[in-house]
Amino acid sequence: MVEQQRRDPARDRVAVVTGGSGGIGQAICRRLADDGCAVVINYAGRPAEAERLAATITDRGGRAVAVRADVADEGDVAALFEAAESAFGGVDVVINTAGVMELSPLAELDLAVLDRMHRINIRGTFVVAREASRRVRSGGAIINLSSSVVKIALPTYAAYAASKGAVDALTLILAKELRGRDITVNAVAPGPTATPLFLDGKDQESIDRLARMAPLERLGVPADIAEVVAFLAGPARWVNGQVVYANGGVI
């Protein structure tokens, strides 16, 4: 058996990170830039945060640009990938971080909320993954953001968990559809993680209770998730078609 020639798994690679101006997204962008990736920071809102992050990475000697795109709009997403190719010559890694979370008991669920989460969490992930499957270069990686709540099954999370269950299914099937391309497809499923998205609307008692769920007895932080994503984006070439739970042992 001929051993494949290996190169530095991160150096000189180009990563597109959707939702790159958010809490976990920013941590992922910083970590990948530290690992040597050129980073395309996608945002829909928070343009100032995205531009500031790009400037910070550049000032530290990295390569980064911020590009606005609605992940659920196929024209925007095509333009996002074209911007990445124009700036850095191609795309090797795509991380689907963009997402929204709104909580409600199912009996009280406003269907407009369900539709919004469907549009961003499901349609957005599908649109980006479809474009990635067409453009990512051999040796690359596609990484979707799922959620541990799919298995933890907490009350009020039904709509959000359902949207992330769809992400799990997409991930496992796309990994098989890309057979022969040398492209890995995985999902990372964070547990309770201290981000503005997670903390919004929760009282301190609820936050403390969720923190105690993990044997490590703390909430995750964005850097915990970025570490797992960086592993899948670089050296983890034999991890494929998996949902990796990054939750401190909650399940």
Q: Which residues are catalytic?
A: 160
CA terminus-to-terminus distance, the chain: 39
* Structural tokens at position 9: 């798994």
Q: Are 54 and 63 in contact (CB under 8 A)?
A: no
Residue with token string 């531009």: 51
Q: Are 189 and 157 in contact (CB under 8 A)?
A: no
Distance CA 192, CA 63 (A): 31
Contacts 24+ apart (CB under 8 A), 165-172: 166/121, 166/122, 166/125, 167/96, 167/121, 167/122, 167/125, 168/243, 170/125, 170/126, 170/129, 170/144, 171/144, 171/146, 171/241, 171/243, 172/241, 172/243
Residue 104: how many CB atoms within 10 A of its CB? 15
- Return all residues near 197 (Cβ < 8 A) that are at least 6 apart: 22, 23, 99, 100, 101
Distance CA 156, CA 214 (A): 20
Distance CA 149, CA 190 (A): 8
